């Protein structure tokens, strides 16, 4: 019941940038886990999951970026180097 209530609230907020927070959070955490720390895809997916798990995860190991999509938005996080780690691409 709690999850249904959360989903209803989120559906009402689809026009605002609040909903992008879910995909952005996952993308940033997943990117950092994969490309900064060097962990496996499975471990990073479990580590980065939040209230709404992603529907799609597209990873490019060569260019070191990940695009995450969920019910509301899609976000790309890019590895920028050892000094700064991963950042969200606009």
Q: Which has more pLDDT, 4 or 66?
A: 66
User: Residue 26 is part of which domain span?
Assistant: 2-89
Phi, psi of 78 (to 5 degrees): -120, 135
Higher-confidence residue of 85 and 71: namely 85
The first and second tokens of residue 52, run together, are 């709404």
DSSP calls for 34-83: IIII---HHHHHHHH--SS--SEEEEETTTTEEEEE-SS-EEEEEEEETT
> pLDDT by residue (tens digit) across 48-62?
887 667 889 999 999
- Tokens representing 73 are 């938005």
Residue-wise pLDDT tens digits, 5-51: 776 666 655 556 666 777 888 899 999 999 999 999 999 999 888 76
């Amino acid at each position: 019941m709690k999850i249904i209530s959360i989903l209803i609230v989120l559906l009402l907020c689809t026009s605002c940038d609040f909903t992008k927070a879910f995909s952005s959070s996952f993308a940033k955490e997943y990117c950092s886990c994969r490309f900064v720390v060097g962990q496996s895809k499975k471990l990073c997916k479990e580590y980065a999951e939040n209230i709404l798990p992603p529907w799609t995860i597209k990873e490019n190991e060569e260019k070191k970026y990940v695009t995450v999509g969920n019910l509301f938005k899609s976000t790309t996080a890019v590895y920028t180097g050892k000094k700064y780690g991963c950042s969200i691409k606009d």
